[in-house]
Amino acid sequence: MAQARSRSSRLRLGIAEHATGMIASVLFLAPIVWTVLSAFKPSQEARLPPLPPWPTTGFSVENYGTLNTFGDGLWLPAQNSIYVSVMTVVFSVIVSVLAGYGFSRFRFPFKDLLFVVILSTIMIPFQSILTPIFLVLTKIGLHNTLTGLVCVYVTLQLPFSIFMMRNAFDAVPREIEEAARMDGANNVTMLIRVMLPLVWPGIVTIALFAFLGAWNEFLAALVLMTDQSKFTLPIMMTALQSGRFGAIDWGAVQAGVTVMMVPCLILFLLLQRFYIRGLMAGAVK
Amino acid sequence: MKTMIAGLALAASIFALPAFAADTANIWVRADGSNFMPRIVDAFNKAHENQIKLDIIPNAEIIPKYGAAAAGGTAPDALSLDLIYTPAFSAAGQLEDITDWAKSLPYFASLSPAHVKTGTYKGRIYGLPFSADSSVLIWNKKLFKQAGLDPEKGPANWAEIEADAEKVNALGGDIKGFYFSGNCGGCNIFTFTPLIWASGGDILSEDGSKATLDSPQLRGAIDLYRSMVKKDLVPAGAQTDTGSNFFAAFAAGNIGITPSGAFAIGALNTQYPNVDYGVTFLPGKDGGWSSFAGGDNFVVTKGTKKLAVVKEFLDFAYSLEGQTILAKYGSLPVRGDIAKEALKDLDPRYQIAAEAMAKGRTPYTVVFNDLINSANGPWTQMVNEVFFGDDVDGAVSNAQETMQSIIDQAPQK
Amino acid sequence: MTTITAETSAPARPRKLVGAGRRQWVGLLYVAPAVALVTVFFIIPLGMTAWMSLHNWPLMGEHSFIGLANYWAILRDTRFWNALRFTGWYTLVVTVAIFAVAFPLALFIERPRRLTGFYRTSFFMPAVIGFASASLLWSWLLNVDSGLFSPAAFDLGLTEKKVNLLATFQPAFWSIIAMVVWKVAGFTMIILMTGLQSIPSELQEAAMIDGAGPFARFRAITLPLMRRTLALALILSVAGSILAFDQFYIILRGGPRNQTLTAVYWIFNQSFVSFKLGYGAALSMILLAILVALSTIQLWLLRKPEGVD
């Protein structure tokens, strides 16, 4: 009798829990779903409130066509964005794996100071040092180049990703390293052969972070890039936002937000196992 | 002959003698010019040895970008600059003095006076008119007809604006009588101040040294807008519209009357051919009219090496061919002497806008951005408060005070 | 912090052998690229900012040295202090709101059950969208004519006419809070979850046997043991909120009536709208000093050796 009651109350509790979970999930997913669906409305319909979210007067990719008429079209800024994001990922991974390894496994003069300085850059509102950054880029001949933008983005990623990588390396037991050293591995082979496979989730995490950061950043791109052929997608988005001739096209906005959002969502869904594991490994320390 | 030129060009490139080579000058334009600018640049590039490379910059970013580029020594050779910024740019010593060249142009006297006025700083000319846009009032003929109004007659004074808007609004449903962007300084300097000017008032003194907001004309115009807001003739979105819906609201076809600009004629004709609309002047309280003469001045970066190319391009833009291209793709002609001819094959409604342009006014101040255009400046804050808020007196006197202090703090050179 | 560094690392050095000494410099080699990047793209520009803050530095034209005049002007700049006060208020509210949502979510997904993976993924999804895109998305949803919320509330009969949510301060402010919570809560949730999972389950069970209720257990075990995780989540949330800009710029333009201007927004305005780069630089230095002070306090919380972890 008592058991039956407790089972039925557990069932009720379970149902209540899943109902809560479902409602919360819907709340979190709804804005995304709403935008992706609404983007497929014809542009006349896209001006009206999105009730219901899906197209009612026919499925259309007209909004993506509109998007393609801004500046140099959709493809060129998309290419630039992909290039910048991929390069940012590659370089921030290389730089922070090296630095994370260095900070975790070596002692050297000013080590703690350097670490704190790198971390503290996270507190600087980089909007306020954009003009000097621009001047520095000009000085070293990287102004108005995608490479220059990549350098800035990599630097922006460093505090977080070096912190993550140092923690990831710290979590690797020293015994593994010592065993490998006995087998005659030097520093570099040790890093590549022994350590990398062990900190893999951390690397995926910082790579994803770097991608998201570079893909979504708009203010630096806006101020630093002057050549239209080198604009990235977020710059195009600001054009959408201010509208043309005071005519904001909500359909194009939905399409633009979708274009910006979907690659991030797909990458996250593909990599989330590593990502969440890496994030947890980094945060626990 | 061709081969010889090619040979020369080759030799020039080898020996780096720029004087003989076909040069490329870099020009920037704000996104508002993205219709006509590529067309005229294409036409120029096809017909000339020298070339123009055009970059279109988002409206709000062109000035910070130019400033940053100038600081880094990578500014474009020239840019098509919103004319209200020309005084500030000239004052900063950023622009090439083109007085002598300008005055040598045979048609100098017939260039748009508002442009030349803002392009002149301390007696020297730094900017010449490039594109033009004047503010006008537009109304929806179909809705006027439905509301029992004469579809061919636009309102000619304030009372008529309100009465007509009310009649259209009475049609109900999604249809509203009037629209304006209630949180946009730039839009309202363009379309709201002409109401004041046409009634004899002004918001700045002639030389831009005094803010003159405390005038009965301003109050009258505010009362007109407030009354329409109160009667619910204006859509709710107007209160927070920072300009992104300035044109689109009317284009959707359910707004009776809206103050707008000449650009709307081209944009409506090409993108919204179904909207049947009329164009008239922005009236004063009891008749009369005025207009804001807007558009871009063409300015040259100080010390550019491509001056010859830039002049060649501007010459082309001032030719009948150039003026016709501009007119066809959304800018009014800036040469008064050939304006009629450039417009002759186009929508007759352009003639009203061109007439408004010729008589239009433009405030002259080196701090236009801080005073008027900035989304967080005193003018923007005031228009939003006086149209929708409760404390009109406080808002006006507050704005008067802030504007005057910004003017007083401006760098005096 | 630098003094501690000097004390701990300095005595260790002389005792090192030659081989270990070489190894030291190898370590420096590994961190060199990172240090170079940070130096070139952060330290030097920061130095230039400090230098610029002592100048009258317009966007175009000549600049001139004016000493501390910019800093004196800041003292009288009521709009900056208002912006700072608003930023503080926003930071407080949004941080509380994020934790109020993220903590229950973390507790919810921490217990393994069916569909946990799905729940976790969906709560986290908004976190991978950029702030600019998210702001643009919400500026559409919040639009009174073409958006979702006002028309939906009107259609459902909740409001008499379509309410413009962005027209007055309170609804506009809370709309932004809702948007930020939607976007950030998933991220905070994951961080909090890591803290929860590091608490040994024996402790909870022991407390349960002792008859402690869920609330008492939460207060006596969960919270203290999560001190460091909480501090990390707190630092990230506070630093992010104090630097808030995108959402207020894109959705509200600092409105209604300039009531939602944040500190960074004001710096941006002074630098890139009014083009007073020197003044903007001085404001940046002030904001930086405030952030460093706050973060030091928080780091101290993070480092406090109390607790088991």
Measured torsion, CA atoms of residues B307, B313, B316, B317, in degrees rounded to the nearest 10: -110
Domain end residue (candidates: A11, A35, A64): A64
Q: Is C160 on the interface with B (CB under 8 A)?
A: no
User: pLDDT, tens digit, for every residue of C182-237?
Assistant: 999 999 998 888 888 878 878 878 888 888 888 888 888 888 888 778 887 888 88
Residue of C273, C276, C279 to mutate for B, most B C-beta atoms under 10 A: C273
Indicate yes or no: CB of B245 within 8 angstroms of CB of A243.
yes
Residue type, C279: Y
**Chain B residues interacting with chain A (CB cutoff of 8 angstroms):** 28, 31-32, 34, 54-61, 64-65, 68-69, 71-74, 76, 181, 187, 243-248, 251-252, 263-264, 267
Indicate yes or no: CB of A223 within 8 angstroms of CB of B65.
yes
* Chain centroid, CA B374 distance in Å: 16
Cα B396 from Cα B218, distance rounded (Å): 9
What are the start-end ranges of the H helices in chain C?
A: 2-9, 18-38, 44-52, 69-76, 78-110, 116-124, 131-141, 149-155, 169-197, 201-209, 214-217, 223-225, 227-242, 246-247, 263-268, 277-303
Which is higher by pLDDT, B198 or A185?
B198
What is the pLDDT, as a whole number, of residue A224? Answer: 83
Contacts of C60 in chain B (CB under 8 A): 67, 70-71, 89, 92-94
Give yes or no: residues A150 and A279 share one domain: yes
**Do A168 and A202 contact (CB within 8 A), yes or no?**
yes
Give yes or no: residues A144 and A17 share one domain: no
Domain membership of residue C15 (yes or no) is no
| Burial class of residue C73 in the structure, from the number of CB atoms within 10 Å of its CB (0-12 exposed, 13-18 middle, 19+ buried) | middle
- C17 — phi, psi (to 5°)? -85, 175
Residue of A108, A153, A241 to mutate for C, most C C-beta atoms under 10 A: A108
The CATH number that applies at residue C209 is 1.10.3720.10
* Token couple for B380: 């923007």
What is the pLDDT, as a whole number, of residue A2? Answer: 52
**Do B94 and B301 contact (CB within 8 A), yes or no?**
yes
Give yes or no: residues B142 and B256 share one domain: yes
Q: Is A181 on the interface with C (CB under 8 A)?
A: no
- Please choose, from the candidates A77, A75, A45, the residue with its C-alpha nearest in 3D space to the C-alpha of residue A62: A45
Indicate yes or no: CB of A131 within 8 angstroms of CB of B68.
yes
| Of A96, A240, A257, Cβ closest to residue C34 | A96
Domain membership of residue C192 (yes or no) is yes
pLDDT band at C15 (very low <50, low <70, confident <90, very high): very low
Q: Is C151 on the interface with B (CB under 8 A)?
A: no
Contacts of B76 in chain A (CB under 8 A): 226
User: pLDDT, tens digit, for every residue of C137-157?
Assistant: 999 999 888 889 998 998 888
Q: Is C129 on the interface with A (CB under 8 A)?
A: yes
What is the pLDDT, as a whole number, of residue C1? Answer: 34
Size of interface A-C (CB pairs under 8 A): 274
Domain membership of residue C263 (yes or no) is yes
Q: Which chains touch A (3 or more CB pairs under 8 A)?
A: B, C
Under DSSP, is residue A1 helix (H, G, I), strand (E, B) or coil? coil
Contacts of A103 in chain C (CB under 8 A): 27, 31
Give yes or no: residues A139 and A171 share one domain: yes
- Please choose, from the candidates B293, B357, B365, the residue with its C-alpha nearest in 3D space to the C-alpha of residue B121: B365
Reply yes or no on whether the pLDDT at A150 is more than 60. yes
- Please choose, from the candidates B305, B318, B304, the residue with its C-alpha nearest in 3D space to the C-alpha of residue B105: B318
CB-side neighbour CA atoms (13 Å) of A125 = 29
Domain membership of residue C27 (yes or no) is no
* Residues whose CB is less than 8 angstroms from the CB of residue A36 and which lie 6 or more positions away in sequence, other chains included: A258, A261, A262
DSSP state of B247: T
* Residues whose CB is less than 8 angstroms from the CB of residue C46 and which lie 6 or more positions away in sequence, other chains included: A124, A129, A132
Give yes or no: residues A197 and A279 share one domain: yes
- The number of distinct structural domains making up chain A is 2
Give yes or no: residues B400 and B253 share one domain: yes
- The number of distinct structural domains making up chain C is 1
pLDDT band at C300 (very low <50, low <70, confident <90, very high): confident
Measured torsion, CA atoms of residues B56, B61, B62, B65, in degrees rounded to the nearest 10: -110
Domain membership of residue C252 (yes or no) is yes
Give yes or no: residues B371 and B225 share one domain: yes
**Do A259 and A82 contact (CB within 8 A), yes or no?**
no
Helices C131-141 & A250-284, crossing angle to 10 degrees?
Answer: 130
Contacts of C245 in chain A (CB under 8 A): 125, 127
**Chain A residues interacting with chain B (CB cutoff of 8 angstroms):** 47, 71, 130-131, 134-135, 137-138, 143-144, 222-224, 226-228, 235, 238-239, 241-249
- Smallest CA–CA distance from B73 into chain C, residue: C60
Mean pLDDT of chain C: 84
Contacts of C124 in chain A (CB under 8 A): 268, 272, 276
Taking the CA of residue C113 and the nearest CA in chain A, the distance in Å comes to 9
Cα A258 from Cα C183, distance rounded (Å): 16
**Which residues on neighbouring strands pair with residue B24, listed in sequence order?**
B51
User: pLDDT, tens digit, for every residue of B41-95?
Assistant: 999 999 999 999 998 887 777 887 888 788 777 889 999 998 988 988 888 888 9
Regarding an ipTM greater than 0.90, the answer is no
Indicate yes or no: CB of C137 within 8 angstroms of CB of A284.
no
Indicate yes or no: CB of B384 within 8 angstroms of CB of C257.
yes
User: pLDDT, tens digit, for every residue of C81-124?
Assistant: 999 999 999 999 999 999 999 999 998 988 777 888 899 999 99
* Token couple for B130: 């490039």
Cα–Cα distances in angstroms (integers) from residue A137 to residues A109, A146, C70, C99, C252, in the given order: 29, 11, 26, 40, 32
What is the pLDDT, as a whole number, of residue C85? Answer: 95
236-295 of C, contacting A, C-beta below 8 A: 239, 243, 245-246, 250, 264, 267-268, 271-272, 277, 280-281, 283-284, 287-288, 291-292, 295
Cα B14 from Cα B11, distance rounded (Å): 5
Domain membership of residue C33 (yes or no) is no
Give yes or no: residues B211 and B342 share one domain: no
pTM for the whole thing?
Answer: 0.85
Domain end residue (candidates: A64, A87, A104): A64
| Of B63, B70, B240, Cβ closest to residue C167 | B240
Domain end residue (candidates: A64, A92, A117): A64
Q: Is C296 on the interface with A (CB under 8 A)?
A: no
Give yes or no: residues A259 and A233 share one domain: yes
Give yes or no: residues B336 and B398 share one domain: no
Give yes or no: residues B117 and B153 share one domain: no
Give yes or no: residues A29 and A151 share one domain: no
Contacts of B91 in chain C (CB under 8 A): 61
Give yes or no: residues B96 and B166 share one domain: no
The CATH number that applies at residue B324 is 3.40.190.10
**Which residues on neighbouring strands pair with residue C65, listed in sequence order?**
C55
Q: In terms of residue numbers, what domain contains B15?
A: 2-133+293-359
pLDDT band at C18 (very low <50, low <70, confident <90, very high): very low
Residue type, B273: P
Residue of C13, C109, C120, C133 to mutate for A, most A C-beta atoms under 10 A: C133
Give yes or no: residues A170 and A261 share one domain: yes
What is the pLDDT, as a whole number, of residue C304? Answer: 55
What is the pLDDT, as a whole number, of residue A31? Answer: 94
Mean pLDDT of chain B: 88
- Smallest CA–CA distance from C37 into chain A, residue: A155
- Smallest CA–CA distance from C268 into chain B, residue: B64
Give yes or no: residues B52 and B16 share one domain: yes
Contacts of B375 in chain C (CB under 8 A): 253-255
Cα B331 from Cα A73, distance rounded (Å): 23
Taking the CA of residue A100 and the nearest CA in chain B, the distance in Å comes to 35
Taking the CA of residue A138 and the nearest CA in chain B, the distance in Å comes to 6
- The number of distinct structural domains making up chain B is 2
Cα C146 from Cα A216, distance rounded (Å): 25
Cα B10 from Cα B197, distance rounded (Å): 58
Q: In terms of residue numbers, what domain contains A31?
A: 2-64
Under DSSP, is residue B29 helix (H, G, I), strand (E, B) or coil? strand
2-61 of C, contacting A, C-beta below 8 A: 2, 4-5, 8-9, 12-13, 20, 23-31, 33-35, 37-38, 40-46, 48-49, 52
Q: Is A127 on the interface with C (CB under 8 A)?
A: yes
Domain membership of residue C8 (yes or no) is no
Q: Is C253 on the interface with B (CB under 8 A)?
A: yes
- B344 — phi, psi (to 5°)? -65, -30
**B192-206, B332-346, C39-53: range with lowest mean pLDDT:** B332-346
Q: In terms of residue numbers, what domain contains C251?
A: 78-303
Give yes or no: residues B114 and B18 share one domain: yes
